[in-house]
Structure 1
């Protein structure tokens, strides 16, 4: 058992939410601009898939080591440390154009972002009330996707070449630290973190684990390869930024609906419905690839892709005590990271074929919908032994 306890009269929710929002703007912009800035640094565009995958391998590595850091330092200091590490990795990329060094930097960045996600998710999900968890998770997803949406517009406003994208990203990350630096009593009011045993991990919801895995596959491919796929259809960078923004905005817009639906239907069935929404979106793109249809279809894809992770993580935390939340979120992030690491590699290969990225998303989401429909028919709610 690992424990870290602090006491505080209150745990201000605005501290992690504000820090997350600014981080999301920086991350949303940088994740989308990175594939587009390769040419200006004399790095082949074929490296985009590998840069995305190495980032998610870092996320995968980080997901295995975050819990001890939170146990030792607490949520506030862990958040500050991981943001600082991410800023350092971006700064290093600004001063070199060597692909191997960029890949090393993206691995470090993935490790840091794993820490940020586990810190924020567990910070907001601590609390035994399901209603409180749902409310805080809604704030989390809205802030994350809202910030990411704003970040997409940086592609046209800030640009994609030279050192400026790196400088702006580092500046935003520095600002993201300020709320946690100034609110020294902002740790959760009572923290006691208990590591789940192997038996308890295996007893976690299988649809939740698969949902996080598929979310990683799709999200990793969206951030790592979708900007390049869109660039191939239009030379207008403003349109690429708008289409990416439509994807993320779609993901943000579905969040209030998810919190209501998750209380009224089995979460595995909801995962199936969200997967089918993505299948429908890819079908639209296959029929008509005009700009207007692209905006609509990518907004629907965003609703589908960005819905999978929050539904899956709440499904995993159902029946868990607050003390086990950090460990559970770490396990879910690990599953997400496995998908994120290998998804862009497979998607990059399929992008070179006639099927394209659209066909890849169609196949992955169709298989997920079938699995979740079967799971919703046979799965019974179970509580994890404490």
Structure 2
């Protein structure tokens, strides 16, 4: 995700395509979020995971062999579809169960693992460079390694394999803060992955610094996950969403006031804590009170909301990239609006209704 905007020049693709490549990926994520549940029902979590990771690896490999923008766009759409399947499989698998504390703990471990791997991956920008086929070869190799546990553990499937789709009234009854939290998470995360590397490259031509700044962002997101799993069981989740949004507002104010490298690292780590916290809080909020057989459907709906934000966020942010406020101003405005909404919701919520 981070290396793609940086490798455009070596493939003779204009930098202006970065926002569209990010958005088409998330449109694929959006399409996948609507169509994944029947696949899991038919072949189960384990085989679905193997299939989706294989498709993702093929899409990445195809990009390494091509330098045509239209083919890259098609590949990114397919990649988004496959990643939607991976997310729904893993998250529904981990959230199946009726114990709220266990769900929060499982999701916290998952997000820590996910962002830990992503953090290490950012250093690959400096190690492998951002030109030629090497970044694509390395990515495909890692994806193939990811399939091995699922291939060897043939009996590994969640205990609950009966899945019930939520009806329209049930979907409409899902937590509105949860839906909005996933939407905003998609807007911010899509822009971070799709455009932040380019914004950082504009301030420095040192790819190692870009990789380190991106790593700081993801490392911040990883470091907050164990804390979130504890806080989400002890305070209203809408208030927690508000606090995490305000943390991002503070981070962008800090980034805007001081552009030194050290301050940028701190500010982006705080942005990562904010941005990477929204989705796990929102999805656990959505699943509170749901029966296990409805979890796959609920996670699919939350991913759909995330995908809508991810698809349109980079396009909107791309227009602000060249203004005085830039990408930091975009993050500031989105997170401030979210914080205000979540604070209003938490103030209206009765003290006993901790799920809200």
TM-score range, shorter chain: over 0.9
1:110 aligns with 2:74: no
Q: Note the residue ranges of structure 1 that are not aligned, 5 or more in a row.
A: 1-30
CA deviation after TM superposition for structure 1 residue 189, in Å: 2.1
TM-superposition CA deviations, 1:95-125 (whole Å, max 9, x none): 1100011000000000000000000000111
- The yes-or-no answer on 1:123 pairing with 2:119 is no
CA deviation digits over 1:206-262, x for unaligned, max 9? Answer: 000000000000000000000000000011110000000000000000111111111
Match of 2:186 among 195, 201, 216: 216
Out of 265, 270, 281, the residue aligned to residue 311 of structure 1 is: 281
1:328 aligns with 2:298: yes
Other-structure match for 1:68: 38
**CA shift for structure 1 position 382:** 9.4
C-alpha RMSD over aligned residues:
1.2
Q: How does 1:182-261 map to 2 (within 5 A)?
A: 182-261=152-231
What is the rounded CA distance, in whole Å, between the counterparts of 1:379 and 1:202 in structure 2? 18
2:330 aligned residue (343, 360, 375):
360
Structure 1 segment 265-284 matched on structure 2, within 5 A: 265-284=235-254
User: Unpaired segments of 5 or more residues in structure 2?
Assistant: none
Contact 1:221 1:340 (C-alpha < 8 Å) held by counterparts? yes
Distance in 2, Cα, partners of 1:224 & 1:336: 15
Deviation of 1:276 (Å): 0.2
Deviation at 1:299, TM superposition (A): 0.2
Match of 2:10 among 6, 15, 40: 40
Matched, 1:301 2:275: no
Higher deviation after alignment, 189-198 or 329-338: 189-198
Q: C-alpha offsets along residues 174-219 of structure 1, whole Å, 9 cap, x if unaligned?
A: 1110000000000012311000000000000000000000000000
CA contact (8 A) 2:19 2:195 kept: yes
2:60 corresponds to: 90
**CA separation in 2, counterparts of 1:201 and 1:378?**
22
- Whether 1:172 aligns to 2:137 is no
Paired residue secondary structure (2:2)? helix
Task: Tell me the alpha carbon deviations over residues 9-56 of structure 1, each in whole angstroms, 9 at most, x when there is no partner.
Answer: xxxxxxxxxxxxxxxxxxxxxx00000000000000110000000000
Q: Are the aligned partners of 2:186 and 2:307 in contact in 1 as well (CA < 8 Å)?
A: yes
What is the Cα deviation at residue 379 of structure 1?
3.4
TM-score, with structure 2 as normaliser: 0.98
For residue 233 of structure 2, what is the aligned residue in structure 1? 263
Note if contact 2:220-2:269 (Cα within 8 Å) is conserved in structure 1: yes
Match of 1:291 among 245, 248, 261: 261
CA contact (8 A) 1:59 1:107 kept: yes
Separation in 2 of the partners of 1:382 and 1:198?
24
| Contact 1:56 1:220 (C-alpha < 8 Å) held by counterparts | yes
CA distance in 1, matches of 2:104, 2:316: 34
Q: SS of the residue aligned with 1:74?
A: helix
